[in-house]
């Protein structure tokens, strides 16, 4: 079925017997429309609005007055709309198909959530409004905080962090504040981080001035408990550990790990990126966790941010609750209030380490997350975890006879493979992933975790149907078969059918072109 779609039709003109792939005068291919950069479409004088010439004026900026055009492209309104619509069609998205990235839960964002986030009083709320005018919004924040505390079994939560890495920083700053409050700030300067950790974990610890000490894993993809115990000492501030971990496995020794860390006088920070695999099933507080960030965009279906609308609340144990950052919501006699200053916090019995962000957090994400929680209920959230683990194990069981699974036994929310199945084929992990683009799939996470050579990490999430996963599995099996049949052409130049071919990613990373410049006419030869 190579080169065919599910119904057996050829996928290109060349494969249908037409010889070399047909090109078109326009560069368009049916509904796949070619689109230049918006600067290349610039037409001098074209604008969506007619503006009157300004009356004469005397510039006040002297030699800094602009001499040339500002450089913004001139287009009519239809041209601008068409440009961005055409660009959007070139992007892969969760609305277009299965998004199998491992370690970064990419699941459907229910449209009901979007409707709720646009309700008056949520969509148009302003952070500087008087508190008496935003009582409903503050009640929603407090209700979401209650759900997060209930689901994690921890008594306090900071809602203001804007993303996972920001939440990590928040949690570790609370740990540092607790250590300093005990007079051990100068002594405890080391943070333990498993070798399979997300890269943000050691980066966060280093940012706060801690020395990062790596913990080796055992042969089963989990933290080596004895290696951990050997690393513990009076200079350890905390451990930063993900559970389920980045290999898609549950840390079986998690309670013993927490006990050993606490006996050493240190704190347990848990990376909550994979909470989607255990939500409603396991409460991190019962495992001994002191602080954990929660990615609302992963577990509770708010959109992935792209730098803007992220949200990474952090839950805290009783030991760290007094150090939760400002501001936070309190409720008394049915009235909601924000604790925003250290004096107010002291009167409330807390000692915040400071403030993480200018205001309280990302209101739109709070609305979406709570809508998701209330739509599912406690039993539905439990099913989220069960279905995500079921789907991942279905992928693992269906592919492990043709692809090399990195570890024995079942997985949690993601299936991890390595590149042993490609040995001797001449096909690299990157080639395999690029060929997936030709089949209409975004590649899975590649080369991560770093502890697995040529890693291929797949997380189908709970929102994919069996039919969708079956087609994905069949596609991967077909690609594997092609590697064994020496069909190198299918892989070496892939993707062949994407709007753009294979990029020189190394050159793009090392020599990025960050600003468009018009082509200059060639100089005439002397």
337 and 363 assigned to the same domain: yes
With beta carbons less than 8 A apart as the criterion, state whether 253 and 225 touch.
yes
H helix runs in 439-521, sequence order: 466-484, 489-492, 505-510
480 and 362 assigned to the same domain: no
pLDDT per residue, tens digit, the chain (526 aa), is: 444 444 444 444 444 444 456 677 777 888 888 899 999 888 877 777 777 887 887 878 888 888 887 778 888 889 999 999 999 888 888 889 999 999 889 999 999 999 999 999 899 999 899 999 999 999 999 999 999 999 999 999 999 999 899 999 999 999 999 999 999 999 999 999 999 888 899 999 999 999 999 999 999 999 999 999 999 999 999 999 999 999 999 999 999 999 999 999 999 999 999 999 999 999 999 999 999 999 999 999 998 865 456 899 999 999 999 999 999 999 999 899 999 999 999 999 999 999 999 888 899 999 999 999 999 999 999 999 999 999 999 999 999 999 999 999 999 999 999 999 999 999 999 999 999 999 999 999 999 998 999 999 999 999 999 999 999 999 999 999 999 998 989 999 899 988 888 988 899 999 998 888 877 766 655 5
With beta carbons less than 8 A apart as the criterion, state whether 174 and 271 touch.
no
Within a domain: residue 11? no
CATH label of the domain that carries residue 189? 3.40.640.10
306 and 446 assigned to the same domain: no
Q: What is the largest CA-CA distance in the chain?
A: 87
Half-sphere exposure of 350 (CA within 13 A, CB side): 27
The SS3 of residue 458 is: strand
- Among the candidates 348, 371, 394, a domain finishes at 371
Within a domain: residue 12? no
CA-based torsion, 485, 7, 87, 472: positive or negative: negative
177 and 296 assigned to the same domain: yes
C-alpha–C-alpha distance, residues 369 and 295, integer Å: 10
Q: Which residue has the tokens 């200018």?
A: 358
340 and 391 assigned to the same domain: no
H helix runs in 400-465, sequence order: 429-438
Q: What is the pTM of this model?
A: 0.89
Q: Which domain holds residue 451?
A: 378-499
Q: Quick one: how far is CA 5 from the chain centroid? A: 31
361 and 468 assigned to the same domain: no
The SS3 of residue 452 is: coil
The SS3 of residue 236 is: strand
125 and 236 assigned to the same domain: yes
pLDDT attached to residue 7: 43
The residues that bridge with 211 in the sheet, in sequence order, are 190
- Helical (H) or strand (E) element with 365: helix 363-399
C-alpha–C-alpha distance, residues 526 and 523, integer Å: 9
Q: Quick one: how far is CA 69 from the chain centroid? A: 39
């Amino acid at each position: 079925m190579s080169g065919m779609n599910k119904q057996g039709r050829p996928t290109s003109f060349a494969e249908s017997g037409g010889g070399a792939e047909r090109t078109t005068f326009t560069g368009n291919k049916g509904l796949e429309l070619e689109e230049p950069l918006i600067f290349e479409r610039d037409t001098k004088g074209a604008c969506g609005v007619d503006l009157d010439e300004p009356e004469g004026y005397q510039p006040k900026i002297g030699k800094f007055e602009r001499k040339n055009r500002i450089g913004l492209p001139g287009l009519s309104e239809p041209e601008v709309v068409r440009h961005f619509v055409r660009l959007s069609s070139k992007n892969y998205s969760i609305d277009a198909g299965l998004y199998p990235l491992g370690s970064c839960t990419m699941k459907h964002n229910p449209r009901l959530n979007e409707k709720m986030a646009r309700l008056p009083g949520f969509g148009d709320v302003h952070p500087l409004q008087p508190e008496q005018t935003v009582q409903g919004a503050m009640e929603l924040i407090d209700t979401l905080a209650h759900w997060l505390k209930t689901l994690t079994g921890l008594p306090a939560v900071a809602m203001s962090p804007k993303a996972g890495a920001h939440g990590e920083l928040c949690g570790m700053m609370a740990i540092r504040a607790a250590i300093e409050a005990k007079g051990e700030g100068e002594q405890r300067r080391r943070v333990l981080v498993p070798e399979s950790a997300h890269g943000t974990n050691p980066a966060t610890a280093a940012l706060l001035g801690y020395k990062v000490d790596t913990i080796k894993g055992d042969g089963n993809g989990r933290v080596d408990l004895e290696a951990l115990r050997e690393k513990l000492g009076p200079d350890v501030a905390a451990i930063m550990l993900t559970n389920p971990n980045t290999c898609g496995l549950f840390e079986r020794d998690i309670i013993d790990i927490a006990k050993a860390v606490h006996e050493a006088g240190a704190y347990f920070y848990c990376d909550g990126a994979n909470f989607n695999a255990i939500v409603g099933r396991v409460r991190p507080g019962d495992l001994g966790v002191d602080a954990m960030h929660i990615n609302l965009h992963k577990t509770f279906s708010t959109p992935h941010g792209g730098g803007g609308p992220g949200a990474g609340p952090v839950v805290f144990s009783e030991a760290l609750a007094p150090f939760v950052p400002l501001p936070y919501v309190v409720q008394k006699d049915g009235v909601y209030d924000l604790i925003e200053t250290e004096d107010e916090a002291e009167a409330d019995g807390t000692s915040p380490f400071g403030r993480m962000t200018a205001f309280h957090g990302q209101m739109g994400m709070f609305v979406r997350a709570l809508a998701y929680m209330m739509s599912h209920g406690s039993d539905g959230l439990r099913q989220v975890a069960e279905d995500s683990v079921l789907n991942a194990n279905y992928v693992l069981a269906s592919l492990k006879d043709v692809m090399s699974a990195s570890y024995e036994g079942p997985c949690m929310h993601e299936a991890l493979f390595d590149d042993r199945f490609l040995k001797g084929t001449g096909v690299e992990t990157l080639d395999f992933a690029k060929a997936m683009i030709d089949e209409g799939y975004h590649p899975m996470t590649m080369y991560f975790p770093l502890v697995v050579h040529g890693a291929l990490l797949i997380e189908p999430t709970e929102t994919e149907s069996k039919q969708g996963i079956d087609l994905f599995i069949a596609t991967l099996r077909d690609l594997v078969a092609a590697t064994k049949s020496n069909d190198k052409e299918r892989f070496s130049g892939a993707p062949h059918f994407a709007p753009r071919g294979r990029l020189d990613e190394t050159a793009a990373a090392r020599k990025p072109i960050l600003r468009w410049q018009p082509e200059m006419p060639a100089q005439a030869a002397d």
